[in-house]
Structure 1
Amino acid sequence: MQPIDAYLAELKDPAAKKTLGALRMQLRKLLPGAVETISYQMPTFKVDGKAVAGFAFFKSHCGYYPFSGSVVPALKAQLDGYATSKSGVTFPPDKPLPAKLVKTLVQARLAEIAASGKTPSATKKAAAKKALITERVTDSAVKGETGRDWKGWMRALDAAGAGELSHKQLVAHLAREVESTWWQQSIAVAYEQARGKRVVGETAATGFQVGVVRTLPISAHDMWERIATQAERWLGAGATLTLKPGAGYEVPKRRGVPGVRGEVRVVKPGQRIRMTWQPEGWKKPATLQLTLVPKARGVSFHVHMEKLPDAKAREAMRKHWSRVLEDLV
């Protein structure tokens, strides 16, 4: 039994059990591939180690927690009528948070992480469609909280000469008009993206990165066996692999396809592999992580790469791993 299953099973209040069970299912849809665990004694959804959403039941009320001191204050208008603190929202067990509001809270937390330069890989599927902050956060949301829509902010910052400012200087400039540090960072990053000062898909910590996710009609156990015993099917023809930290591997060069070498770094049987990936011609290795997430009707297979050399390599790897996952079944 998973930790959150056990938590929900122990709830004595039927309304709370129903409400939090439904909330859990919504979070699964909003955060595909997130790790479900218990943190601070509450069910928590984590993406690449970052807590994005959590919930809990107390004696007479339920609570939702974005694991941030900025998200709830930034959404003060949307949360009007709810009891809030800097870190969370509370509500009666028989009156669940509206699905739209939960989605807004999750998006705000993800945008906060993105603005800090640490975009979680488990959001890459959604980010492929809405990679820009201006596409993730609506005009009405930014205008309601800051007084200007995105076009208004672009014009105002252009007029202020923001194109010549560093990120730190830009945030300091925004602080004169915007009180929320979350909105300061979000507007700054949105402006940098719009004016070509920040490349979508590149972060300070992990360089260019990409994620590919597929849900496959096979059990997580069987897929792990396939990965462990049939390396050629996902690494390439002629590849051999020992799933042991520190073990090296090589994929022979083929016509039109460069050879690849690397080293296994982390192995969590049945769950995850983390390794380096360095094709011929790359000066430095990238990092490759494969994660399996059991589903009711199969397994969600997540491929995440970071420290890629450039945008061209990112797109090449996106296509490569999409083909690999299609051929795995």
Structure 2
Amino acid sequence: MATKTRVPQTVDAYLASVEDPAAKKTLTALRTQLRKLLPKATESITYQMPTFKVDGAAVAGFAFFKNHCGYYPFSGSVVPVLEAELDGYATSKSGVTFPPDQPLPAKLVKTLVQARLAEIATRAKKPAAAKKPAAAKKALVTDRVTDAAVKEATGRDWKAWMRALDKAGAAGLAHKQLVALVAREVESGWWQQSIAVAYEQAQGQRVVGQTAATGFQVGVVRTLPMTASALWDWVTTQPERWLGPGATLKAEPGGHYAVPKRRGSPGVSGVVRVVKPGQRLRMTWQPDGWMKPATLQLTVMPKAKGASLHVHMEKLPDAEVREAMRARWSKVLAQVE
């Protein structure tokens, strides 16, 4: 008869049961940080994972699986609204997964906790609304969060934020730049993202069902031991290193690139759409046989030690292609490193 695995009943017991040394070290450090961020929280085991609760509401949880760790905010909204912050991580609607030897940055954990706390506070203040037919529901931030809640948390209601951002010239900013603009006045990462997305929706940049419109997406990021300027030169002058042998690239708006067909790999071609020198390269991505192109974007960001290269793809046709692209770019960046 098979022996039934006993589920740990305390967080201490859970951590003691983790046999992987790197995972134990990472999760123990994560627990310590959560204790500092949530000094009044109670610790328990919920859904078989260590969980921090504030006034009975689950705020953060973590777990170790066979070969990865996971962080869970016990919300279906926190991870999607922090999409830009989590670029490069494997995510689902309910959580973030990461390698045992690559802990989540402390700043990112703080942002996730703040986002969940802000969400709980917002829901507590929002009056119950009459149920609407499913077809009539909208996925707009301003429909989900009341004027009173945003004003109490940030000092402005929605109309005031729209006017302030218009006056600041936000209409021409990329999403991360818009978030950075809001961050000058708002500390909470969740509110920064919510205000930025609300403004984009008001401007028509983001519409209901955007995820469906952009198809399947994937992002991979790696910090490399070179300066941001050197990394940018590498991207724009050595396309064969990241696109494939024989690749040619004209790194200017309207420029074309091509990757020859090889055994086991189709040829790929596309057109450069956006070039922000030293920062971003955005182009179409269309392998032989594809009816419609996907979009490929490379972003270079300076870091304290080196520079990071973010690879993001959207409008991919299905989940299988998404995972293939995740594997492809992970392999490319690992080889570069």
What TM-score do you get using the length of structure 1 for normalisation?
A: 0.46
TM-score calculated relative to the size of structure 2:
0.45
